[in-house]
Chain A
């Protein structure tokens, strides 16, 4: 992994989920959480402003849901690396997100190991 920290934006309406993701990712030492958004609309605004290396995206949120947000972010930057955060039973939504261009998914309840594996894979792609 390159020396420079990778910049991650978290989009999730649950503060609790954002905190868990933030804690796990920050502890890796190579990730910096540059922004947090509690809905899709805010997520898009922060994406434009912060240009993060990766975005974690909840699927069900008020104002603007994850699928619509993924579509809009990829219209702004077709190379954006989006990882979907899903709950059990949301397989159809995850598939829909992948069709729109999400690059990976993390399933709740979170496992630290799973999040780190996904981070490494995605950020390796970014480094290429």
Chain B
């Protein structure tokens, strides 16, 4: 798996590259203060700035490159490892370049965006390091599509059996299947919100109306109560099978819902990381250009 070794890739080769880069940057920074006060305008500042800009461009390119699985240049784990460590080094280089001089200007904007990109990257790294194991455990080894196939099969079985039961049961089970909600909007996915609903039979609580069917509990409870009230043995057997199917369905839905939630979190950071990176590149161009517009 990609996530397992990105920090320790080849004895943390890129950690040492990063530390070396940072040490060189600190050394370069410390030679300032003579001719001019430390800042982006000294030759050391320009060097650090150029280094930072090159790292930004390279990391952005790397972000695209490491997703190109057809590439033969290096492994995905290697690229990711380099991306993570150099991204962290960038904060140090940018800070040394700025020499701690901040203000409400385009230069600090570029710095702030750099920090924001790296911060979202760190969130991404955290999800990459911790969520895949949870995902894998939740799916019990198989892919998500298998869970959906299972759900589809259970839906069909549930419908078939429900069709053989009385109209009230049929309506309830059918609507519970039809109104089962998975995923949905941004917050539904990220919070794992369950908007499933069901129509319960007249005479029951909420009868004839759509009621919340969170975790399919309402429909299971409804059918389970009907098991004890069934008149005929055949009907009892059908209802028991139905309860069994609904419970299996509940378990599958739980797995799918958790899978969607974990996957959403695993990807959510990218919706900030990528646009912020693009904004950073624009701000970086503005930062460099304005430096030379008025210099």
Q: Do A and B come from one complex?
A: no
